[in-house]
Amino acid sequence: MEEESMEEEGGGGGGCEAMMDDQNHNNWGAGGYGRHLLGPAAAPLGDRLLCGAAGGLGPAVPPAAPQLPMAPEANGVLRSCDPGGTAGKGGAGAIAAAININASTSKFLMNVITIEDYKSTYWPKLDSAIDQLLTQSPGDYIPISYEQIYSCVYKCVCQQHSEQMYSDLIKKITNHLERVSKELQASPPDLYIERFNVALGQYMGALQSIVPLFIYMNKFYIETKLNRDLKDDLIKLFTDHVAEKHIYNLMPLLLEAQSTPFQITPSTMANIVKGLYTLRPEWVQMAPALFSKFIPNILPPAVESELQEYAAQDQKLQRELMQNGFTR
């Protein structure tokens, strides 16, 4: 009876065995990923075992030895599968218990994601998804599973691959932005402003998806160990590798476009000016009058001695509007 009890116990170890049939969680189409991952509590059971924190809220080093499974007695009272306990009364029962424990330990350890697993399986999936997000146009449908990517990041964080993943992410996006910068350099002046606006909007749109997908890495590595924020780091990448390299070519074109009404659309001008202010507020000093049209409280308060000058500027704008077909 003891042997039968232990065999039943070893074959029906809850959901663990079912969850561990793929030793590196690479079965992306498994039913377990059909659930919407709303947070740590919805993470697969294997992840919660590895993370170890209450509710799975934080990654932790896998425990030295898995918790021994429990088996129900006939009267519903749980007992431990300790070979030195009740199951250890008979020699055969003790051996069966030891075999089951060793098998459980092996299955637990098989869930470890090695650095080779990360490089060959996990990062390539993240790399492909990031590519699609960085190059999508507004309104495009991206054929990726956000649940899979979210889960992939979560597992890598739990397995202590956050540093490598952060390094790979920064390198990936830096290379992308350097290509964007080279494409802008090759743009003719009449297309330069529009193409910069597209590059800026496309990148900021991509961050709205990339940052949430890496939320666990941000929380448990970037904020905790680096004392920074992922979104701030990625915005700085665009500033350093694109905007800063083009600001001195872009600003004269923006001022010229401002002096020629409707050379570019007002929405394009507003997007670029507001974007530049977000990237680096001190760029306001390059063209205070331009920035003041879209950013409040840029210029000092009006003074009475300059009222005539303000009126002259308004009259000039009205004349320009009438010359372009607008009437009062």
Instruction: Answer yes or no: are the C-beta atoms of 151 and 33 closer than 8 Å.
Output: yes
Spatial separation of the C-alpha atoms in residues 77 and 73, rounded to whole Å: 5
Question: What is the predicted pLDDT for the residue at 237?
Answer: 97
Question: What is the predicted pLDDT for the residue at 102?
Answer: 53
14 pLDDT above the threshold of 50: no
Question: What is the predicted pLDDT for the residue at 271?
Answer: 95
Q: Hey, how many other C-beta atoms are within 10 angstroms of the C-beta on 26?
A: 14
Residues counted in the chain:
328
Count CA atoms within 13 Å of residue 261 on its CB side: 11
The full DSSP string for 124-172 is HHHHHHHHHHHHPPTT------HHHHHHHHHHHHHTT-HHHHHHHHHHH
Residue type, 279: L
Q: In 280-306, which residue ranges form alpha helices assigned H by DSSP?
A: 288-292
Written as six digits, the tokens of 49 are 């075992």
Predicted TM-score (pTM) of the model is 0.61
Spatial separation of the C-alpha atoms in residues 328 and 323, rounded to whole Å: 12
Spatial separation of the C-alpha atoms in residues 44 and 288, rounded to whole Å: 53
Encode pLDDT of 17-72 as tens digits: 333 344 444 444 333 333 333 344 444 433 443 443 333 444 444 444 444 344 33
Q: What is the CATH number of domain 115-323?
A: 1.20.1310.10
181 pLDDT above the threshold of 50: yes
Spatial separation of the C-alpha atoms in residues 28 and 145, rounded to whole Å: 10
Question: What is the predicted pLDDT for the residue at 20?
Answer: 38
Instruction: Answer yes or no: are the C-beta atoms of 105 and 148 closer than 8 Å.
Output: no
End-to-end CA distance of the chain: 98
Q: What is the mean pLDDT of residues 117-134?
A: 95
Q: Which residues have a Cβ under 8 Å from the Cβ of 85 and sit 6 or more positions away?
A: 79
Encode pLDDT of 275-317 as tens digits: 999 999 999 999 888 898 888 888 766 566 667 776 776 677 6
